[in-house]
Amino acid sequence: MTPVFRCVLILVSFCTLFGIVKKVRNAKIQIENTIFWIIFGFLLLLLSIFPQIASFAADILGIYSTTNFIFLFIIFVLLIHQFLVSVKCSQLENKIDELVQELAVDKKIDKEK
């Protein structure tokens, strides 16, 4: 891993962590939602400070270079996160549908009285 790429990873990690802490302080994001981003930022920081971890994992998985492993790792983690967000969004849409139906029934009952 080149020193420039390591510096970029460290910078991105710190910016991610700083941005999350700022959003939590301004109450613009729930703490439950920040756990993923904090862990993600620390993992990036860990991989950039100790590139031997990424090199070891790349060797085990048969990936040619450490940089390719890091990009693959980031893509994989973000895909998992996106899937979990989609599941949560679907659950919320179902709850909204149920609430709208309950509200419509309640209004209909109130009109009949």
Range of the domain at 29: 3-112
pTM of the model: 0.74
Task: State pLDDT tens for residues 44-55.
Answer: 889 888 989 999
Q: How far is CA 30 from CA 41, 57, 64, 85, 87, in A?
A: 17, 33, 39, 14, 18
If one counts the domains in the chain, the total is: 1
Query: pLDDT class for 91, splitting at 50, 70, 90?
Result: very high
69: which DSSP letter?
H
The predicted structure's pLDDT at residue 17: 84
- E runs forming strands in 2-95: none
